[in-house]
Chain A
């Protein structure tokens, strides 16, 4: 391939390339696998400022170019964000996880992107960087549709920040795919629930993947859970509400009806 490929070592070296119309590439697992490389590519992998995982004012800050493998093995993700760690552990295969990044998963903006339901349920915020500086946008406002984001000209995702739930909050992720490795999800559910001392749900965040044009938060189902216990009856009712809130499509991997059924069943796994 006769493409022009640059690997800038800093953000300062990146900006002129973006102004010249270079497309950015992180791990390349979406860019090279699905579309074939564009003519001019700027690799982000050597920019130290896009890496690192650290706590910052109660949020976990994950550099956009952190790979899924590195996030998965990092103690702050593993212990603080099991809902995300679980999703990372079923994303692609170990080889794909060694290359693919969290920033790439966000900008690809697939409704089946595995890191997205956990990030939606954790009220994640994306940090965008450009020559002019940085700004922060809530993830659910950043992703506009399949493959569409609010990324501006000359801008990249520099980090994603997620709330670290208090110890004792219930974190759950489940992906239903067609096989174990290398399967794109048919339906996935991320849940982060705060329970009070008596086991009553004090607050609930639910996000479903692969059942609409973007990952969906489910406010009606969340409201229904709040103030109740995680018993079978409640969860069946929540499942029914989820089925009404989502708008799945038929595709190669599953029918809309199957997705609706599975989505409504997933909350049952939250039963205590």
Chain B
């Protein structure tokens, strides 16, 4: 069939240049070829949100995107929000609120929350719930997660003051 293409885009702020099949799923490209394993595959069909990444600031499902779509784009995964040594306020709030058990859903959750807070820095609880309604968590229940979103919004609000 088709050959390989060379794609250039930025991933967590760093330029990437990679030869790949243009029809490779973005989730596979990022996890397997680029080694960023915070991006999880849960369902592979758009239902669970575990594979969410920011593409030009919009939270999208990497299991339903093809590599060619990334050309020239800016991609951010949970690793790009913050690191273990320097966590993003959203990540710190998830840890502090105990909004994590197995953690499988967490990277995708934080990506969806990052988009929400960029658009709406002081959401209501119902808006936080709505924003993560495409991210399934089978461990914790959603109360602590929503608490964490509210805490993160507050912390980020203070930061920018």
**B-binding residues in A (CB < 8 A):** 1-7, 25, 27-29, 32-34, 37, 39-41, 43, 45, 69, 92-96, 98-99, 180-182
Q: Are B46 and A96 in contact (CB under 8 A)?
A: yes
Q: Are A94 and B59 in contact (CB under 8 A)?
A: yes
Closest to A34 in B: B45
Q: Which of B56-76 contact A (CB under 8 A)?
A: 58-61, 63-69, 71
B101 within 8 A of A: no
Q: Tell me which residues across on chain B come within 8 A of A3, comparing CB atoms.
A: 1-2, 21-23, 66
Chain B: interface size category:
20 to 34
For B1-28 the 0/1 string (1 means CB < 8 A from A) is 1100000000000000000011111000
The one of A5, A41, A95 that contacts B61, using a Cβ cutoff of 8 Å: A95
How far does the Cβ of B123 sit from chain A's closest Cβ, in whole Å? Answer: 12
Most B Cβ at <10 Å: residue of A4, A95, A98 = A95
The one of B22, B58, B64, B115 that contacts A4, using a Cβ cutoff of 8 Å: B22
B133 within 8 A of A: yes
Query: In the complex where A2-B1, A7-B71, A94-B130 touch, is A99 in contact with B23 (Cβ < 8 A)?
Result: no
Q: Tell me which residues across on chain B come within 8 A of A94, comparing CB atoms.
A: 59, 112, 130-131, 133-134
- A136, B2: Cα distance in complex, Å: 35
Q: Are A37 and B66 in contact (CB under 8 A)?
A: yes
Q: Are B46 and A5 in contact (CB under 8 A)?
A: no
For B84-122 the 0/1 string (1 means CB < 8 A from A) is 000000000000000000000000000010010000000
**A-binding residues in B (CB < 8 A):** 1-2, 21-25, 45-47, 49, 52, 58-61, 63-69, 71, 112, 115, 130-131, 133-135
- A1, B1: Cα distance in complex, Å: 10
Query: In the complex where A7-B68, A94-B59, A94-B133 touch, is A33 in contact with B46 (Cβ < 8 A)?
Result: yes
- A41, B25: Cα distance in complex, Å: 13
Q: Are B1 and A4 in contact (CB under 8 A)?
A: yes
Closest to A179 in B: B133
- A5, B24: Cα distance in complex, Å: 9
The one of A32, A95, A181 that contacts B59, using a Cβ cutoff of 8 Å: A95
Q: Tell me which residues across on chain B come within 8 A of A69, comparing CB atoms.
A: 58
Closest to B25 in A: A1
- A3, B23: Cα distance in complex, Å: 5
How far does the Cβ of B61 sit from chain A's closest Cβ, in whole Å? Answer: 5
